[in-house]
Amino acid sequence: MANVRLEGVKKAYGTIEILRNIDLTIDHGEFVVFVGPSGSGKSTLLRMIGGLERISGGRLLIDNEVVNNVDAADRNLGMVFQSYALYPHMTVRENFAFPLRMAKMARAEIKTRVAETSSLLQIDHLLDRKPRQLSGGQRQRVAIGRAIVRQPKVFLFDEPLSNLDTELRVQMRVQIAKLHKQLGNTMIYVTHDQIEAMTMADKIVVLKDGNIEQVGSPHDLYHNPASRFVAGFIGSPKMNFLDGHVEAAHEGGMDVKLEAGATVSVPVQPDQRLVGKPITLGIRPDDFSQSPAQETDIAIELDVDFVEHLGSVTYIYGNAGKQTVVAKAPKPAPPKGSGKLRLAVSPADCHLFTSNGRALRRLRAPADWS
Ligand code: ADP
Ligand code: MG
């Protein structure tokens, strides 16, 4: 096991800066997910940790040692990529054993490790097959096994599930999370899929345009997004954003007049400088309830376009004034597919974002905080 620390880490290709001043600490045994849109720098960051890309500035420490100039092979990391890169002419057993033989490990020890790894991943019955005789999911497990068998300090995964179909992806997600529990190793996992990030991570690092937008637990990022970008990126369906402007700032928060009509007093850190300025109110689709639930609730009048029944949940799509809104249908009444609907939102569940996308700090935990 090992910790990983990045101090002011930079990457540039010529004059183009890909990553700027990355500061990050990853603790022993943590499962950290780098998430962000395509091109945000996730793979580059992971490859620098893995020693596959040179670092243009700053320091990278593994187990408290600076490794900027240490070769990939000497960093003792296990890497798994989207393309499995198994040796096609070798059986699964040989795929596992080959790197250990190259490292001059004793035969008995190799045998033990191969047996342990295949039993951990439940692929004992596949040991004598070649990669072409395996399904996509089985190949992926072999690729993971090949990383495990070397007992690395840290595992690095780069979108390892992208080539699998949805069902298998969900299964493998659970398998990898279980594996992390069993092995207890530090794991760094890259994905563009926020659901993977939310379900697997102890700590999520959100990247955007080569910068860290926010670092936090899945719960933190969902309930206290630091920016409009994170608020929109984490959570599905996406948070709703309603335009308005600030009418007043006082001890209890900020009063916002929405273009859609309602006035809301949101309990956030007040800022007098924002009075009169445009502001965006954020509401998660889950935070709507049947109107009116509480006296302090704000009412949002929705022109319903479409209702989507998914079995366990129903989503309502519509417009509030000029803005589109998605709401999880409050129980018990399943709404009709069109017409007007009045929904309520508790001000404590609302988020506010300034015109530059910064979130105002919420003064109290929302009602469902646990
Ligand atoms: P992600 O994994 O988040 O999709 P990458 O780390 O692969 O993003 O890429 C981040 C940015 O760096 C992208 O804009 C990409 O075009 C650029 N980039 C990646 N590799 C190179 C390279 N070898 N030369 C120049 N630019 C590169
Ligand atoms: Mg990538």
The pLDDT confidence band at residue 370, using thresholds 50, 70 and 90, is: very low
Query: Which atom number of ligand 1 is nearest to the Cα of residue 46?
Result: 6
- Of all residues in the chain, what percent carry a pLDDT higher than 90? 76
18 CA from centroid of ligand 1 (Å): 7
CA distance 84 to 236: 29
Q: Is 240 in the pocket of ligand 1 (CB under 6 A)?
A: no
Q: What is the mean pLDDT of residues 220-233?
A: 96
Q: Per-residue pLDDT for 369 more than 90? A: no
Q: What is the dihedral of CA 162, 166, 170, 175, to 10 degrees?
A: -60
Q: In the predicted model, is pLDDT for residue 299 greater than 80? A: yes
**CA 123/CA 142 separation, integer angstroms:** 8
Q: What single letter denotes the amino acid at residue 148?
A: I
Domain at 4-231: CATH architecture: 3-Layer(aba) Sandwich (3.40)
Beta partners for residue 80, in sequence order = 157
Q: Best substitution site from 18, 19, 46, 212 to test ligand 1's pocket, by max atoms within 8 Å of Cβ?
A: 18
Among 41-50, 217-226, 256-265, which stretch is predicted with the lowest mean pLDDT? 256-265
Ligand positioned closest to the Cα atom of 81:
2
Separation between Cα atoms, residue 98 and residue 101, nearest integer Å:
5
For domain 238-353, say whether CATH 2.40.50.140 is its number. Answer: yes
Task: Name the residue with the closest Cα to ligand 1, atom 26.
Answer: 13
Query: Alpha-carbon distance 212 to 21, whole Å?
Result: 9
Which backbone phi and psi does 268 adopt, to 5 degrees?
-130, 165
Q: Where are the domains of the chain?
A: 4-231, 238-353
pLDDT tens digits, 43-69:
999 999 999 999 999 999 999 999 999
Q: Is pLDDT above 90 for 261? A: no
Tens of pLDDT, residues 325-352:
999 988 766 567 778 888 899 999 999 9
Does ligand 1 have an atom closer than 6 angstroms to the CB of 40?
yes
CA separation for the pair 275, 256 (Å, rounded) = 9
- Nearest protein Cα to ligand 1, atom 18: 18
Confirm or reject: Cβ of 41 under 6 Å from ligand 1: yes
Rounded distance between C-alpha atoms, residue 46 and residue 282, angstroms: 32
242 has which bridge partners? 281
Residue 167 has pLDDT above 50, yes or no: yes
Q: Which ligand 1 atom is nearest residue 42's CA? A: 3
Q: What percent of the chain has pLDDT over 70?
A: 96
